[in-house]
Amino acid sequence: MMMNPCVVCLAHGNGKHFGVDACRGCTAFFRRTVVNKRKYKCSEDDTCDIEKSEGVLCKKCRFEKCLKMGMKKESIQNHRDIYGRRNPPALKAILPSPSTSSPQIAVSTSILSTIKRNYSQLENVRVVVHSMEGGSMFLKPAPRGQTYKETYRLLLREFYLVADWISNSFPHFTELPTSQK
C-alpha cells in the first residue's frame, strides 16, 4: 500500500497524524513542539521553503507549515506523551537528593539530566532523519559509496541536529553572540 507524501515536507508519508498525511519526522517534530511549548525564530523572515530536499528545515517555518496544512494541536494526547518525563530509575538511584546535597550539586545533576534526556531525543531524531532516504529504519543498509552532494546533505543534517541539541541542552548558549557560537 502506497502512503501519501507528507503534506509538510513532501517526504515519504507514514499515514494520518494529527489530521493530515505526515512523515514520522514532521509528526515527532510537531508533537515535541506542542508538548514542550517551544517557540522558534526564523533567520529568513519567515520565508523558508519547507521541503525534504533542503535537508534540515527551519523550525519556525516548519511548525507554521504544520499548522497551515491542518495539523491539530488538540489531537495530541498529552497523557500518552513521554517527552519531558524521562528520567531513568538507575539515574535517580545514584543522584543525591536535593534536600541532602548542596544547591550546586542539585543544579549540576539537573543540567546533566537535561543533557542526557536531550541526547536520547537526538538519537531518536537521527534514526528518523536518516531513514528518510527511502530505506527502512529497522534494517541496517549495506555500506555504499556516497557522492559529495549526499555527504554534504548528511553533514548539514547532522550540523543542525547537533546545534539544536546544544541549544536545548545549554540554555545560555542561545544568548551568546553568533561570532562566539
What is the per-residue pLDDT across 5-36, written as a single tens digit (0 to 9) for each?
A: 888 888 888 788 888 888 888 888 888 888 88
Cell of residue 162, nine digits: 547537533
Please state the rounded mean pLDDT for residues 91-117. 66
Please state the rounded mean pLDDT for residues 138-148. 70
Please state the rounded mean pLDDT for residues 59-86. 77
pLDDT in tens, 76-102: 876 655 555 555 555 555 555 555 556
Report the 10 Å Cβ neighbour count for 124.
11
CA–CA gap between residue 46 and residue 48 (Å, rounded): 6
User: What's the pLDDT score for residue 105?
Assistant: 72
CA–CA gap between residue 161 and residue 122 (Å, rounded): 7
User: What's the pLDDT score for residue 53?
Assistant: 53
Q: Is the pTM of this model over 0.75?
A: no
> What are the structural domains, with CATH classification, of the chain?
1-81 (3.30.50.10), 86-181 (no CATH)
User: What's the pLDDT score for residue 146?
Assistant: 77
User: What's the pLDDT score for residue 86?
Assistant: 53
CA–CA gap between residue 43 and residue 53 (Å, rounded): 19
Cα-Cα-Cα-Cα dihedral sign, residues 67, 68, 72, 74: positive
